Amino acid sequence: MKSASLQYANALADIALTQGAAAPVVEQLGDFTTAYIDSSELRNFLESPAVTKEEKRGVADKISARLGASKILRNFLFVIIDHQRMHQLPEILETFQNVLRERQGIAEAGIFSAVALNDTEKTEMKQTLERVTGKKIEAKFSLDPNLLGGALVRVGDTIYDGSLRNRLNGLRERLLAE
């Protein structure tokens, strides 16, 4: 299933980036997906094999128009409907967002600290991560009461552990090795 979502996400990213409409398409697809998730009637209608593709397209077109969605999104939804992949819409949205971030050189960072960071510290942390990763960082800051001090950062699958606990463990290992 993931590979199908990736194919659709890549196709949509190709078109959205080529036409310089990545940000609006993400927002519009997110709005449509929210409506789809929130309405069991809409989900049942769009996923039902008893409903014709033309009827599904008509409803998708009307919802898209109400949301102010672009022709790019409307046509993409038609493709999803025609290939009976509407049930994968939430997964496609998530994959699409990840594909766009990757293509635009953006990485999402989860930054966990023992105490709240001020704006200067947040900016410095973000700039440091951008230098280290070579990517633009979208940072999400959180407090972690389990940390003794310092910070723990997760960028994709990589963890940068600058916590006090990690430093103390490193010190202990060096002392034991001597």
Residues 77 and 7 in one domain: yes
- Structural domain range at position 140: 106-177
pLDDT in tens, 98-133: 999 989 988 888 999 888 889 999 999 899 889 988
Q: What is the pLDDT of residue 2?
A: 67
Residues 140 and 152 in one domain: yes
The reported pTM is 0.73
**CATH number of the domain where residue 77 is located:** 1.10.520.20
Residues 95 and 110 in one domain: no
Residues 93 and 110 in one domain: no
Residues 121 and 161 in one domain: yes
Cα 36 to Cα 103: distance, rounded to the nearest angstrom: 27
| Residue where a domain stops, chosen among 41, 76, 102 | 102
The structure tokens listed for 12 are 């949509």
Cα 86 to Cα 47: distance, rounded to the nearest angstrom: 6
Residue 79 near residue 57, CB atoms below 8 Å? no
